[in-house]
Chain A
Amino acid sequence: MEPSPAPAPSPPALAIEVRGLVKRFEDVVAIAGTDFEVPMGQCVGLLGPNGAGKTTTVEILEGLQQPTSGEVRLLGMRWDKDAAELRERIGIALQETRFPDRISVEETVRLFRSFYRRGLSVEEAIALVRLEEKRDAYVMKLSGGQRQRLALAVALAADPELLFLDEPTTGLDPQSRRALWDVIEGLKGKGRTVVLTTHYMEEAQVLCDQVIIMDHGRIVAQGTPAELIASIGGEQVIEFATTPALPAEAFAEVPTLVASRPRGNGHTLSVKELHRALPGLLAITAARGVSLNHLSTHQATLDDVFLAFTGRSLREDAS
């Protein structure tokens, strides 16, 4: 305990604090030293290509894996001292759980609910994920998306203060995904903290107050979605392809250019001002005598951020 100075407005309490986190498997470094904080009531998204270390990070936070080194605090508590208390207060949906085939939805939720001192009623948990219709169906009769929702209902059964969702919307139809977003918005409204991993940028953009982009076990970018988009400099993105293909240097003179990356037999340019960049680009292609066989523009999104920081498109990596 450090002596606290005279009563000052206390900083927002932290739901999660991670310092110098490292996780090594025999020959793989899954997490290579990460630091981050999540204030209470925030939703934080962990993004990154396959094998980036998202699941490993989340499972260490959940107390399911031991870090090689580093420090983790949840709700001001530590796993080595307060495991029992922490288990009561966090909710978890693993990336993949096979619930037993011949147990019904309701029975599964009821079983998990029985482990906690307090929480939602079984009916409430099932209603939250809209599985009322399937309440008496065996797990073996559920579709993949319905199983995901069951896992979420199980995670929510204890009405946890801190919720960990590892790829909760992978494999969901757009409608179910939006329904799940509503659930998470509702939780945020109740002041709950949510950590989720996802391969969907728009999901992070809609839900997350803070986004952490990981690659090869490191945090390569971190901030609010707006900050991250601003950090890559360009607000606008131009994608195009030419025949014959031209090298990247050919476009160095495009006005307000921030960055360029090759993409197929064309390029992706990040620019600040579309109305000046586009005429410049057209002038260059005309002068070189090549024909544009594709041209499109959009506002920069987290996708572009991801691409800029990892050199890979998230969607290419998403299974």
Chain B
Amino acid sequence: MKNSPHALAQLLLFRMRGFLREPAALFWVFIFPMLTALALGLAFRDRPLPELKVAVVDGPEAARLVPALEAVEGLSATRMSEAEGRDALRRGKAALVLLPGPQPKLIVDPMQEEGRTARLMVVDALERLEGRQDRLSVQTRKVTAPGSRYIDFLIPGLLGFGLMSSSLWGLGWALVQMRTGKLLKRLVATPMKRSQFLLSFMLGRSVLALAEILFFVVFARLLFDVRLAGSLLSFVALGLWGSLSFGGLAAFVTSRAANSETASGLMNLVSMPMMVLSGVFFSASNFPDWLQPFIKALPLTALNDGLRGIMLDGMPLLALWPQGLILGVWGLIPFLIAVRYFKWM
């Protein structure tokens, strides 16, 4: 039909204008995730390990021991009475109490990480002081593993969550508004092809998702030096696939909702559990084992795992076929149901 491409272009323009002219939408899609990343990135910044505090009990040897312990990197030593030392230990102000003497005694809780480390370091320092010779000369090379910081974990999760939210709210909300305003009814009273209407939503959503993904990649790189280990193309492809999948879910959730209250309730019902379970802010492996199969089957888990796989571990797209499959199923089946039962008026 002669006018068809034209109609599709108009529908697509209509979708894009609706979004671009809505300042609130721009805020939630672009600014809000960036602010979240900034806030959480700062709160969970990797700090240098604090020095371990050692209490040295007053006595003739103390004067010699304190400077020696101070000289060890990562330890700080203070002189105090034994009672004070025990008190400091109990309150976490000291990791270890040292009672000097020919047979030095250590008071320490070896079940605590700090106590265990302090014990090893203090024993080592005392041995050297007594003239122990090291038989190996061990060399240490310092590295920070890329992709191991919290922000590295967070960025792909935030992107997955962002794609889910903008699909659900962007599509679902628009559909419900058009239904309550009788605009859907008015549209189906024209010769408009419903397939084109649908296609315009999918295309509009994908254009936006593309912008979202690229924006994330750039700001993660510039603001947090988060690097994309895998290929950008795979990353974008998976992101778009996820966004379409959630689009199908959005169409399903709102296929019959007659007002915005019902729709927002339903959309929260879908997105809230996934926000918690699917490893957006912390790893999903923290949940008990019996819950894991269920969590693994959620679309947002699949998307987040996939995005992390590409971004942090440089996985190729093909290796992520299980995630792709999960997303496909979660998108397609609800979509087909939605098409079948969609309420136009």
Contact = CB atoms under 8 A, between A and B. Distances in A.
A94 B185 contact: yes
Interface stretch (B72-80, B146-154, B186-194, B252-260): B186-194
A245 B22 CA distance: 62
Contacts of B17: 102-103, 107
6 contacts: A64-B189, A94-B186, A100-B18, A111-B11, A114-B10, A114-B11
Contacts of A96: 182
A110 interface: yes
A110 B10 contact: yes
A200 interface: no
B2 interface: yes
Contacts of A107: 13-14, 17
Given A97-B181, A103-B14, A117 B1 contact: yes
Nearest to B5: A114
A92 interface: yes
Contact of B191 (A64, A111, A116): A116
Contacts of B192: 115
B297 interface: no
A64 B345 contact: yes
Contacts of A92: 186, 189
Interface in A102-154: 102-103, 107, 110-112, 114-117, 138, 154
B7 interface: yes
Interface residues of B, number: 28
Interface of B: 1-3, 6-7, 9-11, 13-14, 17-18, 21-22, 177-178, 180-183, 185-186, 188-192, 345
Given A87-B189, A111-B13, 16 more contacts: A64-B188, A64-B345, A88-B191, A94-B182, A94-B185, A97-B181, A98-B181, A100-B183, A102-B22, A110-B10, A114-B3, A115-B190, A116-B3, A116-B190, A117-B2, A138-B21
Nearest to A111: B10
B172 to A, nearest CB: 16
B175 to A, nearest CB: 12
Contact of B7 (A63, A87, A115, A154): A115
Size band of the interface chain A makes with B: 20 to 34
Contacts of A87: 189-191
A300 to B, nearest CB: 38
A153 to B, nearest CB: 13
Interface of A: 62-64, 84, 87-88, 92, 94, 96-100, 102-103, 107, 110-112, 114-117, 138, 154, 158
A114 B189 contact: no
A84 B21 CA distance: 33
Interface of chain A, helix or strand or loop or mixed?
loop
B40 to A, nearest CB: 32
Nearest to B189: A92
A64 B10 contact: no
Nearest to A118: B3
Given A88-B191, A107-B13, A114 B7 contact: yes
Contacts of A62: 189
Question: When A and B form their complex, which 7 residue pairs have the shortest distance between CB atoms, in order from nearest?
Answer: A98-B181, A102-B21, A114-B10, A87-B191, A114-B7, A115-B190, A115-B192
Contact of A99 (B7, B183, B345): B183
Nearest to B344: A64
A182 B183 CA distance: 27
Contacts of B9: 114
A97 B183 contact: yes
Name which of B3, B185, B186, B188 has the most chain A CB atoms within 10 A of its CB: B186
Nearest to A95: B182
A102 to B, nearest CB: 4
B205 to A, nearest CB: 17
A92 B180 CA distance: 18
A159 to B, nearest CB: 13
Nearest to A151: B186
A103 B18 contact: yes
